[in-house]
Amino acid sequence: MARFPIRGLVVVVSLGITVACVSAGPVGVTKSANLVEGCAKIGDVSVSAKTPESEVVADLAAEARRKGANYVLVSSDGARSGTAYRCTTPSVATR
């Protein structure tokens, strides 16, 4: 019977983490250096070799978000490390 409260707690904590991540804004993961050209380099991000392959991109994005970045440049699909960048939206020129 002790399992129900623990499962409930896990669901609540998971939901809280999901809401926190969504509210912080999306982080793009790209292989295109052109996309981050002109952006501020924040630093390197990586995930553990033990991180399941299905979670690598999400974990890289989460680490980049914690550093204040909104893009991660990786060298290839499945890469476990990359470089975090903060890119701003180009302003619309007024004439």
**pLDDT tens, residue by residue, 29-74:** 999 999 999 999 999 999 999 999 999 999 999 999 999 999 999 9
CATH code of 71's domain: 3.30.1660.10
> What domain count does the chain have?
1
**Domain around 62:** 26-86
Helices (H), 1-95: 3-23, 56-66
Residue 4 lies in a domain: no
How far is it, in rounded angstroms, from Cα 3 to Cα 9?
10
Residue 10 lies in a domain: no
Joined together, the tokens standing for residue 74 give 């990786």
Q: φ, ψ for residue 89 (rounded to 5)?
A: -75, 130
Residue 75 lies in a domain: yes
Task: Summarize pLDDT for 58-70 with one digit per residue, the tens.
Answer: 999 999 999 999 9
As separate numbers, helices (DSSP H) first and strands (DSSP E) second, the chain gives: 2, 4
Residue 94 lies in a domain: no
* Angle ∠(49,46,9) on CA atoms, nearest 5: 75
Residue 81 lies in a domain: yes
Residue 3 lies in a domain: no
